[in-house]
Structure 1
Amino acid sequence: MSGYRAALRIARRDATRSKGRSALVLAMIGVPVLAIVVLAVLARTVDLTDAERLGWDMGRADAIVQAQGREAVPAAVLGFDYGTRPAGRGEPWTDAEVTGVLKARLGEQTGVLPSRTGGALVTVPGGLSYAMVREVDLRENAARGLLRIDGGRPPATTGEVMVSRTLRERGFRIGTDLRTRDGAAKRIVGYVTLPDNPRGEFVQGLPGSLLRGVPANFLVTRGSPVTWADVRALNALGIAVNSRSVIERPPAGVPERAGVMESGGSGADTAIVALVLAMIILEVTLLAGPAFAVGIRRQRRLLALVAAVGGEARHLRAVVLASGAVLGVAAGALGTLGGFGGALIGKILIERYANTILPAWDIPWTWIAAICLLAGFSGLAAAYLPARQAARTDVVAALAGRRDEARTARGLPVAGGVLTATGLAATAVGIGPLHEGGAVIGTVLIVVGFVLLTPAAVGLAGRLARHLPLPARLAVRDADRNRGRTAPAVAAIMAAVAGITVLAIGGNSDFAQRRAEYVPRMPMGSTVVEELPRERVEQTAAAIRSVVPGADVVRADHFTDPLRGVEDPARAVVKRLNTPEPDPSTCDPVCAYTTSGQFGFEYLIGGPELGRVVLGRDDPAVTAALGAGRAVVFVPGVVRDGTARFSVDEFGAGAGTAPKSVPFPVEAVYVPAISGPTAILPPAMAARTGLATEPAGLFVTDRLTAEQTRQVREAVIKVAWYTKVYTERGFHESFGLILLILGAVGSIMVLGGSLIATGLSAADARPDLATLAAIGARPRTRRLLLMAQAGFVALLGCWLGITAGLAPGVAVAVPLTEPTDPSFDHGTIVSIPWALLTGVGVGVPLLAVLVIGATTRSRLPMVRRLSG
Structure 2
Amino acid sequence: MSGPRMTRSTFPDPRPPEQRERGGMLRWRMALKMSMRQSLKSWPSSVLVVLLVLLPMAGVAAAAVYAESLSPSAQQRVDAELGEADAWVQAPGMPSGVRQYLDDPNAQFEYDAASSHDWIEPPADVADVIDADRLVRIELGSAAVETVAGIGAFQVVLGETWDPLLEGRYTLLEGRAPTAADEVLATPEALERLGAKVGDSVEMTKPEQTVTVTGTMSSRLEENPESVLFAGRGDAYELDGYGTTWYAEGWHATAGDVYDLNDQGIIVFDRALVQRPGDGGQPVLERGSGSSWAFYSAATATLVFCTYLVLLLAGAAFSVSAKRQQRSLAVAASVGASRADVFRIVLFQGTILGLAGGLLGSGAGIGLAALAREWFGDGSLSYTWGLKVPWWMLVGLIIIASVVGTLAALLPARNATRGDTLAALRGARRPVSVSAKRPKVGLGLIIAGAALVVVAVIGLVVTYNLPTRDLALTDKVYPVGTIAMILGPLLLQIGVVTAGHWLLAQVSRLLGRGRLGGRLAARDAVANPGRSVPSFGAIAACAFLATASIGGVATLTNMQAEGHSSIAPYGSVVAWMSGGVISDDDDLFIEDPAAVAPALAALADDATQILRDEGAGSTVVVSVPAGPSYTSDSDGEMRFDGGQMLTTPEIARPEHCAATDECSANFYERSGGGNQLFAIVAPDGLDVALGTEISAADRSAFAGGAVIVTNPQWLTEDGSVVVNSWRPEDVQGMSDAVFDPEADPASLPSAAHTETRDGILIDTETVFDESHQVYISPDTAAELGITATPSMVVADFPGITTAQLDSLRASAESETFSRSTDEMSVDLSFSQAEGPPAAAPWLWLILGAVTVLVIAASAVSLGLSRVERRPDDATLTAVGASPGVRRSVNGWQALVISAFGCIVGTVAGLMPVLGVVFILEGTGQEGLAFTEVPWLWYGLLALVLPVAVALVSWLVPPRAPDLTRRTAIA
Normalising by structure 1, we get a TM-score of 0.75
Q: Residue in 1 aligned with 2:791?
A: 700
CA distance in 2, matches of 1:234, 1:543: 50
- Per-residue CA deviation, residues 122-151 of structure 1 (Å, 9 max, x unaligned), is 4224x33444554454432343333677x6
* 2:503 aligned partner: 457
Task: Tell whether 2:739 aligns with 1:636.
Answer: yes
Show the counterpart of 1:626.
726
Q: For the structure 1 residues 507 and 537, does the alpha-carbon distance in structure 2 shift closer, same or farther, using more than 3 Å as the test?
A: same
Structure 2 equivalent of residue 746 of structure 1: 850
Deviation for aligned residue 1:556: 5.0
Residue identity matched to 2:402:
G
1:799 aligned to 882, 903, 911, which one?
903
In structure 2, what residue type is equivalent to 1:700? Answer: S
Q: Secondary structure at the match of 2:837?
A: coil
2:168 maps to 1:145: yes
Moved more, 395-404 or 838-847: 838-847
C-alpha contact 1:798 1:841 (8 A) present in aligned 2: yes
Quote the residue 1:734 is aligned against: 838
From 760, 766, 786, the equivalent of 2:870 is 766
User: Residues 50, 752 of structure 1: CA spacing in aligned structure 2 closer, same or farther, 3 A cutoff?
Assistant: same
* In 1, Cα distance between equivalents of 2:789 and 2:62: 48
| Partner residue in 2 for 1:834 | 935
CA positional deviation for 1:397: 2.0
Report the Cα offset of residue 454 of structure 1: 2.4
Of residues 311, 320, 329 in structure 1, which corresponds to 2:337?
Answer: 311
Aligned pair partner of 2:861 in 757, 763, 776: 757
Give the counterpart letter for 2:162 in structure 1: R
| Larger deviation, residues 27-36 vs 712-721 | 712-721
**After superposition, what is the alpha-carbon deviation per residue over 1:125-183, rounded to whole angstroms, capped at 9, x for unaligned?**
4x33444554454432343333677x645654553433354863895555666544457
Code of the residue aligned with 2:739 in structure 1: it is: P
Matched, 1:290 2:306: no
**TM superposition shift of 1:500:** 1.7
Of 604, 618, 643, the match for 1:544: 604
Matched residue, 2:54: 30
What is the one-letter code of the residue matched to 2:491?
Answer: L
Partners of 1:546 and 1:266 in 2: how far apart? 43
1:155-554 → structure 2 map (5 Å cutoff): 155-157=177-179, 158-165=182-189, 168=192, 178-181=202-205, 184=210, 186-187=212-213, 189-190=215-216, 192=218, 195=221, 197=223, 201-207=226-232, 211-215=237-241, 217-250=244-277, 252=279, 276-352=302-378, 356-357=382-383, 359=385, 367-431=393-457, 432=460, 433=477, 434=479, 435-466=481-512, 470-520=516-566, 528-529=576-577, 534=582, 537-538=596-597, 539-548=599-608, 551-554=622-625
Q: Is the 8 A contact 2:144 2:151 kept in 1?
A: no
Kindly indicate whether the alpha-carbon contact (under 8 Å) linking 2:147 and 2:193 is maintained by their aligned counterparts in 1: no
TM-aligned CA distance change 1:22 to 1:217, over 3 Å? same
Amino acid at match of 1:37: A
Return the letter of the residue paired with 2:600: T
- Alpha carbons of structure 1 residues 516 and 89: separation in structure 2 relative to 1, 3 Å: closer
**Aligned partner of 1:735: which letter?**
A
Moved more, 858-867 or 298-307: 858-867
Specify the alignment match of 1:6 in structure 2: 30
1:419 deviates by 0.7
Secondary structure of 1:733's aligned partner: coil
Residue in structure 2 matching 1:66, options 90, 94, 105: 90
Given residue 603 of structure 2, which amino acid in structure 1 is its aligned partner? A
Contact in 2 for aligned 1:639/1:668 (Cα 8 Å): no
Query: SS where residue 226 of structure 1 aligns?
Result: coil
Contact 1:558–1:604 (Cα < 8 Å) also in 2: no
Residues 718 and 285 (structure 1), Cα distance of their counterparts in 2 relative to 1, 3 Å cut = same
Report the secondary structure of 1:461's partner residue: helix
CA spacing shift, 1:77–1:279, aligned 2, 3 Å: closer
Task: Tell me how far apart the structure 1 counterparts of residues 146 and 106 of structure 2 sit (CA, whole Å).
Answer: 25
**How many residue pairs are counted as aligned between the two chains?**
776
Unaligned 5+ segments in structure 1 are: 83-87, 563-572, 578-586, 589-596, 646-664, 678-696
| Structure-2 residue corresponding to 1:687 | none
The answer to whether the 8 A contact 1:119-1:132 is kept is: yes
Please, which of 105, 108, 116 is the counterpart of residue 129 of structure 2?
Answer: 105
**What does residue 699 of structure 2 align with?**
none
Answering whether residue 40 of structure 2 is matched by residue 40 of structure 1, we say no
Q: Deviations over 1:231-275 (max 9, x none)?
A: 445445554444444433336467889xx9986899999998876
Q: Is the 8 A contact 1:607 1:627 kept in 2?
A: no
Paired with 1:411 and 1:266, the residues of 2 have a C-alpha distance of 46
Taking a change above 3 Å as real, the CA distance of residues 849 and 235 of structure 1, as seen in their structure-2 partners, is: same
Alpha-carbon distance change, 494 to 176 in structure 1, aligned in 2, over 3 angstroms: farther
**TM-score normalised by the chain length of structure 2:** 0.68
Q: What's the CA shift for 1:372?
A: 2.8
Q: Distance in 1 between matches of 2:769 and 2:349?
A: 65
Contact preservation (8 Å) 2:178, 2:232? no
Kept after mapping to 1: 8 A contact 2:544/2:908: yes
- With over 3 angstroms needed to count, the CA separation of the structure-2 counterparts of 1:481 and 1:702, relative to structure 1, is same
Q: What SS is found at the alignment partner of 1:106?
A: coil
Other structure's SS at 2:819 match: coil
Contact kept, 8 Å, 2:601 with 2:790, in 1: the verdict is no
Q: Which amino acid aligns with 2:602?
A: A
Measure how far apart 1:31 and its partner are: 1.7
1:390-416, CA deviations, whole angstroms, 9 ceiling, x for partnerless residues? 111222221111222232222222211
